[in-house]
């Protein structure tokens, strides 16, 4: 009994959420939705009541699993995931979600949080996969053909990454004998496989497109919830196991640049935000790659504030989609008149994302850029500055401008439902409060923070960068160079499997068919020739169908007998 | 500004604050003014540099402007190659 109590009581909060997901299915609809909001809030209090320790150790197949490791790195991620879960589920109250979606959202958050608190790789793997399976239901809940196929592609990527993770884990465990989930590094056995798995899940360049493909196809609240978890869990896992791996700096830099261009030409504003999400993941990956204390603090704090402002921006775009039925920049505009509160919250999110002083992005992103500068990575430093100016473009200006301020397209929209406004209000409040009082976040980071974002030079330099980028936008807009919003699909790496692979399949199918036909035809030809010649032997004039005379037969047999006797006794 | 927005919303057909061309011009002039102030601010503070080039006069402002213009032009060029019709993928399936 005591052993059971020891295992169960300080249970991983993620497991409580998964249990909650099962309960949510049994509750009546309305109760289930509120339950999904309250449970994460309750678990935040639970999390703060515990000290840093390893809880929930159990023995499994001769391995000691640490199902609940609470330290400074896992606590900050667990906390922000719980906040994101509560806010997402609050927002979902305005989206009329059914309880199955509520349950999926809880299980998804639960799997992610349980994986964050996992002290060993087996527990990590199991909960990572639970989160993956639960998340796809947030996409399929849209119940459209597009959502279904996008969900399938998403699942192929995610499960694929899971299989690679499992393979890496097996190689690693069999070589080292340890299942502990700590520093791995590229040189460890299985290290490359595990990095690849985390890389797919954190949308590394070329394996990023599941993100932009699937997230905007999810339900209105589903996209908000999805944006917070999977990729940031992968960032957590990278920070835990690959801090200071230099190649990540360069991968992150590429990640921080190329999606910006897509974010500028993409028409679907929720998809714009997923490209922008990819850029911010790039910042975090650079921070992890640099691996100094300030860089890791920067990566972790940026993950935290990014979850908040990205959710806020996606919430505002979700409200627009709910009220107008579209999220295409070319079909939107002038909504500030009818959705002023949504517009105001969206602007707070946009300013936070752009990292203006007094808003949350400012106090986190700059730590990563400073770390790059301190370590002398001048190319990386320039790339990150460029990406910062780029973020102002697509998240800071483009999103609010095209939805709320550009030419009125005459949508008869209402303001967003109250629960959505409340969720946006809380997210906006958190963005501002973290921006104004960065110490609130800094004290919870994995390393002690010796960094002050509010120095005169930093504030002025950041404002110079951003305002002159804004000036460039204004000038380009005034002289009509800024690309107008037109409907269309932009090709990304998904082309290779959606069109390229399809073409390859059709091509090979056709050629295999032709090949088969040639082989079959010639085989049939040969066989029929054999049959024909056999027929010739056996038909009326054939040698086999002649009727020879009895006497000549006896002569043949006697001579054969003679031959045999001769051979035997010679 | 939010109160203003709400007042305007009461009468739906009334011209909105943002519909007024003069207000848009005001916003644009404000951006110009802020940029001018920030550009001149270079004289009045002590720089903290990581490298040598970031000590150049108004480095951040000039870099921000040039890279932004480059970004937009780059995006326009990329669009020529990457953009397809809206239902490009739908028709194939």
- Chain A interface, mutation test: which of B2, B75, B78, most A Cβ atoms within 10 Å? B75
**Hey, is the C-beta of B33 within 8 angstroms of any chain A C-beta?**
no
Residue in this structure with the two tokens 């360069």, named with its chain if needed: A250
Residue A262's contacts (CB-CB under 8 Å, 6 or more residues apart) are: A212, A275, A490, A492
Judge: B67–A265 Cβ closer than 8 Å, yes or no: no
How many domains, chain B? 2
Residues B73 and B84 in one domain: yes
List CB contacts (< 8 A) between A374 and chain B: 50
Residue A227 confidence class, pLDDT cut points 50, 70, 90: very high
Using the predicted structure, report yes or no on whether residue A32 has a pLDDT greater than 80.
yes
Which of A260, A457, A498 is closest, CB to CB, to B71? A260
The confidence score (pLDDT) of residue A8 equals 47
A60-69, A320-329, A381-390, A414-423: segment of lowest average pLDDT: A60-69
Tell me: the pLDDT tens digits for A117-140?
999 999 999 999 999 999 999 999
The confidence score (pLDDT) of residue B88 equals 83
> How far is residue A546's CA from residue B25's CA, in Å, rounded to a whole number?
112
The 10 Å Cβ neighbour count of residue B21 is 8
The confidence score (pLDDT) of residue A4 equals 46
Using the predicted structure, report yes or no on whether residue A320 has a pLDDT greater than 60.
yes
Judge: B51–A373 Cβ closer than 8 Å, yes or no: yes
List CB contacts (< 8 A) between A482 and chain B: 72
Residues B27 and B62 in one domain: no
Percent of the residues in chain A that have a pLDDT greater than 90, as a whole number: 72
Residue A340, classed as helix, strand or coil, is: helix
Residues B88 and B76 in one domain: yes
> How far is residue A431's CA from residue A312's CA, in Å, rounded to a whole number?
9
The confidence score (pLDDT) of residue A9 equals 67
Residues B73 and B51 in one domain: yes
Contact assessment for residue A104 and residue A218, using Cβ atoms and an 8 Å cutoff: no
Q: What residue numbers bound the domain in which B73 lies?
A: 46-93
The 10 Å Cβ neighbour count of residue A46 is 14
> How far is residue A385's CA from residue A257's CA, in Å, rounded to a whole number?
10
Residues B22 and B60 in one domain: no
**Hey, is the C-beta of A144 within 8 angstroms of any chain B C-beta?**
no
The confidence score (pLDDT) of residue B11 equals 44
ipTM: 0.82
Residues B62 and B33 in one domain: no
The confidence score (pLDDT) of residue A63 equals 85
Judge: B64–A467 Cβ closer than 8 Å, yes or no: yes
The confidence score (pLDDT) of residue A5 equals 45
Tell me: the pLDDT tens digits for A52-61?
888 878 888 7
Residues B2 and B39 in one domain: yes
Is residue A470 left, alpha or beta, with left meaning phi > 0 and alpha meaning psi from -120 to 50?
alpha
**Mean pLDDT of all residues in A44-50:** 89
Strands A63-70 and A53-60: antiparallel
Residues B11 and B37 in one domain: yes
The confidence score (pLDDT) of residue A555 equals 87
Residue A373 confidence class, pLDDT cut points 50, 70, 90: very high
**Mean pLDDT of all residues in A182-204:** 94
Judge: A471–B16 Cβ closer than 8 Å, yes or no: no
Using the predicted structure, report yes or no on whether residue A2 has a pLDDT greater than 80.
no
Containing A64, the helix (H) or strand (E) segment is strand A63-70
Using the predicted structure, report yes or no on whether residue B80 has a pLDDT greater than 70.
yes
Residue B10 confidence class, pLDDT cut points 50, 70, 90: very low
The confidence score (pLDDT) of residue B15 equals 65
Would you list the DSSP string of B19-84?
G-HHHHHHHHHHHHHHHHHHHHGGGGS----SSSGGGSTTHHHHHHHHHHHHHHHHHHHHHHHHEE
> Counting beta carbons within 10 angstroms of the beta carbon of residue A387, is it exposed (0 to 12), middle (13 to 18) or buried (19 or more)?
buried
Residues B37 and B79 in one domain: no
Angle between helices A220-228 and A72-92 (to 10 degrees): 180
**Hey, is the C-beta of B48 within 8 angstroms of any chain A C-beta?**
yes
Percent of the residues in chain A that have a pLDDT greater than 70, as a whole number: 98
> How far is residue A457's CA from residue A450's CA, in Å, rounded to a whole number?
17
Judge: B18–A405 Cβ closer than 8 Å, yes or no: yes
Contact assessment for residue A349 and residue A427, using Cβ atoms and an 8 Å cutoff: yes
Residue A410 confidence class, pLDDT cut points 50, 70, 90: confident
What distance in Å separates residue B88's CA from the closest CA in chain A? 7
Residues B62 and B37 in one domain: no
Q: Which two tokens stand for residue A357?
A: 């002083």
**Hey, is the C-beta of A177 within 8 angstroms of any chain B C-beta?**
no
**Mean pLDDT of all residues in A257-264:** 92
Residues B55 and B82 in one domain: yes
Containing A70, the helix (H) or strand (E) segment is strand A63-70
Tell me: the pLDDT tens digits for A436-468?
999 999 999 999 999 999 999 999 999 999 999
**Hey, is the C-beta of B79 within 8 angstroms of any chain A C-beta?**
yes
Residue A11 confidence class, pLDDT cut points 50, 70, 90: confident
List CB contacts (< 8 A) between A481 and chain B: 72-73, 76
Residues B68 and B88 in one domain: yes
Tell me: the pLDDT tens digits for B22-56?
888 898 999 999 999 999 888 888 888 888 888 88
What distance in Å separates residue B91's CA from the closest CA in chain A? 11
Residue B12 confidence class, pLDDT cut points 50, 70, 90: very low
């Amino acid at each position: 009994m005591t052993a059971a109590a020891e295992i169960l009581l300080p249970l991983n909060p993620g497991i409580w959420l998964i249990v909650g997901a099962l309960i949510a299915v049994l509750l009546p609809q309305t109760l289930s939705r509120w339950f999904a909001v309250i449970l994460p809030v309750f678990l935040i209090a639970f999390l703060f009541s515990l000290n840093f320790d390893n809880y929930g150790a159990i023995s499994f197949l001769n391995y000691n699993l640490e199902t609940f490791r609470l330290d400074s790195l896992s606590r900050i991620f667990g906390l922000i995931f719980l906040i994101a879960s509560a806010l997402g589920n609050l927002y979902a109250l305005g989206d009329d979600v059914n309880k199955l979606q509520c349950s999926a959202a809880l299980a998804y958050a639960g799997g992610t949080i349980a994986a964050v608190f996992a002290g060993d790789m087996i527990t990590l793997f199991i909960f990572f996969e639970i989160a993956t399976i639960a998340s796809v239901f947030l996409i399929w809940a849209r119940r459209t053909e597009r959502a279904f196929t996008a969900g399938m592609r998403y699942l192929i990527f995610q499960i694929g990454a899971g299989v690679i993770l499992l393979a890496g884990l097996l190689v690693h465990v069999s070589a080292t004998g340890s299942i502990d989930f700590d520093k791995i590094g590229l040189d460890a056995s299985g290290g490359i496989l595990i990095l690849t798995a985390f890389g797919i899940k954190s949308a590394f360049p070329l394996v990023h497109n599941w993100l932009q493909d699937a997230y905007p196809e999810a339900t209105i609240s589903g996209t908000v919830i999805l944006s917070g978890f999977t990729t940031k869990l992968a960032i957590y896992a990278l920070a835990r196991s690959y801090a200071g791996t230099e190649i990540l700096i360069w991968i992150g830099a590429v990640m921080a640049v190329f999606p910006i261009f897509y974010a500028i030409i993409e028409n679907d504003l929720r998809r714009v935000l997923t490209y922008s999400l990819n850029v911010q993941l790039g910042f975090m990956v650079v921070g992890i790659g640099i691996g100094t204390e300030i860089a890791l603090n920067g990566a972790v704090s940026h993950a935290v504030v990014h979850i908040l402002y990205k959710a806020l921006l996606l919430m505002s775009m979700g409200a627009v989609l709910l009220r107008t039925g579209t999220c295409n920049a070319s079909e939107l505009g002038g909504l500030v008149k009818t959705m002023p509160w949504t517009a105001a919250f969206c602007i707070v999110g946009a300013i936070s994302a752009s990292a203006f002083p007094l808003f949350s992005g400012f106090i986190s992103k700059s730590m990563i850029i400073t770390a790059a500068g301190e370590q002398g990575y001048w190319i990386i430093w320039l790339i990150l500055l460029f990406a910062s100016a780029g973020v102002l473009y697509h998240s800071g200006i483009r999103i609010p401008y095209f939805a709320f301020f550009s030419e009125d397209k005459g949508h008869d929209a209402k303001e967003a439902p109250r629960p959505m406004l409340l969720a946006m209000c809380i997210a906006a409040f958190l963005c501002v409060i973290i921006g104004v009082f960065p110490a609130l976040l800094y004290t919870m980071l994995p390393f002690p923070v010796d960094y002050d974002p509010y120095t005169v030079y930093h504030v002025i330099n950041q404002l110079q960068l951003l305002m002159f980028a804004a000036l460039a936008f204004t000038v380009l807009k005034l002289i009509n160079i800024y690309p107008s919003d037109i409907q269309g699909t932009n090709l990304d790496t998904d082309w290779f499997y959606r069109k390229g692979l399809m073409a390859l399949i059709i091509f090979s199918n056709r050629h295999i068919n032709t090949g088969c036909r040639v082989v079959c035809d010639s085989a049939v030809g040969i066989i029929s020739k054999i049959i024909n010649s056999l027929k010739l032997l056996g038909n009326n004039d054939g040698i086999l169908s002649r009727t020879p005379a009895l006497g000549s037969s006896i002569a043949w047999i006697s001579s054969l007998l003679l031959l045999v006797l001769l051979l035997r006794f010679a | 500004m939010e109160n203003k927005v709400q007042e305007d919303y009461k009468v739906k057909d009334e011209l909105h604050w943002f519909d007024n061309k003069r207000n848009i011009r005001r916003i644009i002039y404000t951006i110009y003014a802020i940029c001018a102030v920030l550009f001149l601010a270079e004289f009045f503070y002590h720089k903290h540099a990581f490298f040598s080039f970031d000590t150049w006069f108004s480095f951040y402002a000039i870099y921000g402007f040039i890279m932004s213009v480059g970004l937009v032009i780059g995006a326009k060029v990329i669009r020529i190659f990457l953009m397809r019709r809206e239902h490009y993928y739908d028709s194939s399936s």
